[in-house]
Structure 1
Amino acid sequence: MANLIAAERISLALGTSQLLDEVSLGVGTGDRIGIVGRNGGGKTTLLSVLAGNQSVDTGRLTRTGGLTVGLLTQQDGMAADTTVAQAVLGDRAEHEWAGEARVREILDGLLGGVSLSAVGGHDALVGPLSGGERRRISLARLLIDDPDVLLLDEPTNHLDVEGVRWLATYLSTRRATGNNALVTITHDRWFLDAVATLTWEVVDGRVEQYEGGYAAYVLAKAERARVAAATEERRQNLLRKELAWLRRGAPARTSKPKFRIEAANELIADVPDPRDEVELVRFATTRLGKDVIDLLDASIEVGDRELIHKQTWRLAPGERTGIVGVNGAGKSTLLRAIAGLQPLSSGKRKEGRTVQLAFLTQELRELDEVQGMSVISAITEVKSYIMLDGKETSASSLAKRLGFSGSRQQSRVSDLSGGERRRLQFLRLLMTEPNVLLLDEPTNDLDIETLTSMEDVLDGWAGTLVVVSHDRYLLERMCNRQVALLGDGAIRQLTGGVDQYLELRAAAAAAPRPATASSSAPTPAAPGRSAAEVRELKKTVARLEKALARNSEREQRLHDQLLAAATDHVKAAELDAELREVHAEREAFESEWLEAAEQLDE
């Protein structure tokens, strides 16, 4: 492996902050490096140094002769009167790029095909486009240019789940060669695991280097902390909890690390699951009762578009659901409807009498009224203490868990960064002690450490949670079920999670669209299977779906009985045990359903 860029003892201070302190590192051929670290810690500055756009105070930066470097910043810098074709393809003649498979693949993956239909066509002007569309254009231009070293600052911002998967696949397979390199800043942990072979953590002026993606980074970081015994107790507990999730909740993610992990396994041998689902549901049922929020035969229209068509969704006590879907399908609108902020065009919304709802929107304007306050005052204005994880927690303690150190708690709200304002917004909501929490893209502007802290806090929160996010890792970590909006007006249950959503989207894209179709036409047999086998598989799927429906009804009855037996500890314990059996039965049914469904799709 040859070094393309080498940094020797580089240091850089901006104002009073020492962002880099005698850092030595190298970017070699074949490297795919993910950069993580806290907001404001120097990640973007390091990327600018590698790009040659930021000089250093001391040290030396060297490059291979003739090296080409491409940088994706968080500001695109495109002139408003530039056309989409000019922004993406530059001066390339159509006959040069239209016949090149690599260019067509990029246009199709990011912009909806060679017609650039996703952004209005070749001649559309860049000026009126949304931030997400401009982001896709910048990313497409950079990938088409194909520099030796690709430097990407938060490339997944504004991309949906499909876009993130396409980009990860392209960078880790199609573009990955032994001659080029990739360095990317990202807070998307799924993307980091899918793309990175090395992880750099920028912390306190240093760049700590780890082999592998996010899973490897967490394991190695915990092992270093264990050996050095240098991590404070709260932080160590948080790492142990995250390890338990990685090892037990998503074991496939830990297949990448090449280093020995026996020590890490010993560290988490006695760690319970991150959440006690049954206990949280029991407590949530006690707080909420059996009625939370119901959308009954509900339709939602925005302008002349019907986003939701006659759908029924009953939120249950303790339910943790993630919403995924294509851009424009109505995810945020559905969340607003659940909150009672979006009127229904037909149907009914019912809300339980004991519901205390909090809604984390994508807007930060609600902090305008506390601009002149300190962080801690803005939190204690809501409340000074809450009950969390079964014990009383102070506002200062909770603020510290979410990244506001003692001194930072005295900072004025007007001086906070975007990520810090997002944290404060979340803290103020938690201090209202809601029992129903709606989160719209909660990962916006948050670094990985803060996201992990947020998930840790919510592990001990008893209530109903609904999350809209394109962050696949967060959805799998924070929620125990997902639903999808596919643009057809339906709210679809995803028994197979985000993977099933991606399969459905791929199948929809690949399906032929005949001009007419007869409802009585027989379904063709799947390739390689006889018609009888297909019929048998369909019967199995139907049987399991009925079993899952019965299981869900039984679970709801048990929740109701738990509510009635809230003061009878012996009866509650018996119902808890039965509820655990129901959960285990559901997991077995879901596993069998997935296997049968996958065979049907083959």
Structure 2
Amino acid sequence: MLISTESLKKNINDKCILKDASFTIEDTDKIALIGVNGTGKSTLLKILAGIENYDSGTIIKKNGIKIHYLPQNPEFKTDCVWDEIQLVNSKNEHPVAEFELKSILTKLGITDYQSAMSTMSGGQRKRVALALALCTSCDLLLLDEPTNHLDNDMVEWLENYLIRSKSAIFMVTHDRYFLDRVCTKMIELDQGDLYIHNGNYEVYLENKETRIEQEKLAAHKHKNLYKKELEWVRAGVQARGTKSNSRLQRFEELRQKRFKQQEESLKINAAMQRLGNKTIECMNLGFDYPEKQLFHDFNYVLLRQDRIGIIGENGCGKSTLLDVIAGLKQPTFGTIEYGTTVKIGYFRQADQGVDLNTRVIDYIEEVSKVIEYDRMTLSASQMLERFLFPRNMHYTTLSRLSGGERRRLYLLRVLMQEPNILLLDEPTNDLDILTLDVLEDYLDNFQGAIITVSHDRYFLDRVVDKVFVHQEDGTFKQYSGGYSDYLIKSKDENKKVVIQKPIEKKKRSLLSYMEKKELEQLPEKMELLETEMETLDHQMNECQNDFAKLKELSDIRTQKEEELEILTNRWMELEEKKEG
């Protein structure tokens, strides 16, 4: 056991974060902490990291435990990437080899190791902080939204890295494929209460549905019983004098009992203006910076109900393409034509230039004070309540909201504009799973066109029906289907090694002649692969300053590792069959 908590309580102002939280973290656990934005997930991580205090309860930690905490907004002790990572590595009991440090940075898209942190974007700084976390020797990794600002390839690499990691992991993330692959336990934080689910995301969904139904049933029974007792208490004055104290006490307990407001109260209902036949036509679009060409020859006529995903490495120009389509940037080449009825709603990675001293209600009313929907007129205040902002939060300033709450509020602001074409730039960043589910349902019924840039593979599979993938030559290649469909097609095109599931063991207990021969040859093949991997390690160590070569060697090593895993599985299968 690494950490044991008992009856933790935590309040922030008048908000209950933890009521009576008790749980343990074992040394092999890979735990996800999930819940609605603003419930206190980041606060609980800070409590475990020893950064924030709690009101009461106990936390028992294993003697000498080493904990590393990755916050959403990291801070650094130096201004140089390599100086920072060397500083962290020097504190490790067994320092990581230099080529491994550079390999991790390269995998996370940091190729200039001498970069100044002060000149980096927020996403780049978060990736540096993630690299520092992965390079740290520790018993427990506390990760707050580790997949934010990672492209799809980086997320897949991080999945495999954490699956193999010997450290226990306790993290906040809303990437549902990531939850399914990496995590073995879910802890749900719901209005101060903790619910523990042993299993992955699929198990959590099943358990939660059962729990909500039970809570609804209990609330319904309570309501009926309270109604009966209320009638009894309201009986005539003469009868009241003879009422038993025990029954009156039970009525008082029933009266004071409160049930949770169910999460289904979040409703995304918004109108859209009529969209004509002509939407947006992109002709030979290209965009260059003085030092780099991002993309060129982008041609597409947007259909009225298109569902398009944009995929590519960080920095390839995906967000810039959305900026160009939205009219915020002028293309270096080509032209865009817009239909007269087009009204774009652009949900960017951040609402840039917003004053955090603005009140919640004023932030929404800047766009519109009312919205017409389904023959109803809904005020900004009513829409806020539908987005899980109760009336007591309407006059709160934006600075007091959590990152996820601010993101959800920004989504409402975009929808209040009644757009008929939605541009979504990383819409899943910082949004909780409940909001994502409801947003996806809303997008299913949205009658206009949608173009989204996202690293969330689940979201892409759920929402889009075609993807444009950025190519090395600066063009975008179109694939039909979602992210998983694109992966299958691209692997077929490139004829890459695909890891197959181990073949099911046959009922025969004896090996055939060919299987015996294969079993004899496998150890030699496995040993050869291991030797090749050692050679690659030496080569990576010798070319530490050539990041292009380092990345090439790292990719080859990963491929060799996958081939070794396939051979190992096959060897184990044949050995079992041989032994009957």
TM-score above 0.5, yes or no: yes
Aligned to 2:36: 38
Contact 1:33 1:183 in 2 (8 A): yes
Contact 2:461 2:484 in 1 (8 A): no
Structure 1 184/373 Cα, relative in aligned 2: closer, same or farther at 3 Å? closer
Aligned to 2:137: 146
Deviation at 1:183, TM superposition (A): 0.5
Contact 2:295 2:475 in 1 (8 A): yes
Structure 1 427/132 Cα, relative in aligned 2: closer, same or farther at 3 Å? closer
Contact 2:307 2:463 in 1 (8 A): yes
Structure 1 335/83 Cα, relative in aligned 2: closer, same or farther at 3 Å? closer
Deviation at 1:185, TM superposition (A): 0.9
- For residues 168-211 of structure 1, what are the alpha-carbon distances to aligned partners after superposition, in whole Å with 9 as ceiling and x for unaligned? 12112x21x5xx42100112222222211111112222211123
> Are residues 1:341 and 2:335 paired?
no
Contact 1:386 1:433 in 2 (8 A): no
Aligned to 2:390: 405
Instruction: Tell me the secondary structure at the aligned position of residue 120 of structure 1.
Output: coil
Instruction: Give the distance between the partners of 1:340 and 1:22, measured in 2 at CA.
Output: 51
Instruction: Tell me the secondary structure at the aligned position of residue 35 of structure 1.
Output: strand
Contact 1:379 1:427 in 2 (8 A): no
Aligned to 2:241: none
Instruction: Give the distance between the partners of 1:87 and 1:37, measured in 2 at CA.
Output: 32
Aligned to 1:50: 48
Corresponding residue to 2:70 among 45, 69, 72:
72
Overall identity of the aligned pairs, in %: 35
Structure 1 406/56 Cα, relative in aligned 2: closer, same or farther at 3 Å? closer
Aligned to 2:183: 196
Structure 1 238/427 Cα, relative in aligned 2: closer, same or farther at 3 Å? closer
Instruction: Give the distance between the partners of 2:54 and 2:90, measured in 1 at CA.
Output: 34
Instruction: Give the distance between the partners of 2:443 and 2:391, measured in 1 at CA.
Output: 22
Contact 1:80 1:128 in 2 (8 A): no
Instruction: Give the distance between the partners of 2:289 and 2:336, measured in 1 at CA.
Output: 17
Aligned to 1:351: 338
Q: Give the number of the structure whose alpha-carbon radius of gyration is greater.
A: 2
Aligned to 2:121: 130
Instruction: Give the distance between the partners of 1:134 and 1:412, measured in 2 at CA.
Output: 27
Structure 1 412/86 Cα, relative in aligned 2: closer, same or farther at 3 Å? closer
Corresponding residue to 1:382 among 368, 379, 392:
368
Corresponding residue to 2:201 among 214, 221, 239:
214
Deviation at 1:367, TM superposition (A): 4.2
Instruction: Give the distance between the partners of 2:109 and 2:283, measured in 1 at CA.
Output: 36
Instruction: Tell me the secondary structure at the aligned position of residue 342 of structure 1.
Output: coil
Corresponding residue to 2:455 among 457, 470, 485:
470
Q: Which amino acid aligns with 1:421?
A: R
Deviation at 1:112, TM superposition (A): 1.4
Contact 2:467 2:486 in 1 (8 A): no
Aligned to 1:7: 5
Corresponding residue to 2:275 among 285, 288, 294:
288
More moved, 311-320 vs 435-444? 435-444
Deviation at 1:58, TM superposition (A): 2.0
> Are residues 1:166 and 2:157 paired?
yes
- For residues 530-563 of structure 1, what are the alpha-carbon distances to aligned partners after superposition, in whole Å with 9 as ceiling and x for unaligned? xxxxxxxxxxxxxxxxxxxxxxxxxxxxxxxxxx
Instruction: Give the distance between the partners of 2:437 and 2:169, measured in 1 at CA.
Output: 25
Instruction: Give the distance between the partners of 1:233 and 1:75, measured in 2 at CA.
Output: 31
> Are residues 1:422 and 2:411 paired?
no
Aligned to 1:310: 297
Contact 2:364 2:380 in 1 (8 A): no
Deviation at 1:414, TM superposition (A): 5.7
Aligned to 1:111: 105
Structure 1 501/120 Cα, relative in aligned 2: closer, same or farther at 3 Å? farther
Deviation at 1:500, TM superposition (A): 5.5
- For residues 443-476 of structure 1, what are the alpha-carbon distances to aligned partners after superposition, in whole Å with 9 as ceiling and x for unaligned? 3332223333333333332111111122222222
User: What is the TM-score with the length of structure 2 in the denominator?
Assistant: 0.69
Contact 2:266 2:435 in 1 (8 A): no
Q: Which amino acid aligns with 1:491?
A: F
RMSD: 3.6
Instruction: Give the distance between the partners of 1:333 and 1:403, measured in 2 at CA.
Output: 32
Structure 1 39/462 Cα, relative in aligned 2: closer, same or farther at 3 Å? same
Q: Which amino acid aligns with 1:226?
A: E
Q: Which amino acid aligns with 1:294?
A: E
Deviation at 1:295, TM superposition (A): 0.4
Aligned to 1:494: 479
Instruction: Give the distance between the partners of 2:328 and 2:122, measured in 1 at CA.
Output: 25
Instruction: Give the distance between the partners of 1:203 and 1:235, measured in 2 at CA.
Output: 9
- For residues 51-88 of structure 1, what are the alpha-carbon distances to aligned partners after superposition, in whole Å with 9 as ceiling and x for unaligned? 23334332221122332222212343313444515425
Structure 1 455/134 Cα, relative in aligned 2: closer, same or farther at 3 Å? same
Corresponding residue to 1:445 among 430, 433, 436:
430
Deviation at 1:40, TM superposition (A): 2.9
Contact 1:296 1:312 in 2 (8 A): yes
Instruction: Give the distance between the partners of 2:427 and 2:310, measured in 1 at CA.
Output: 12
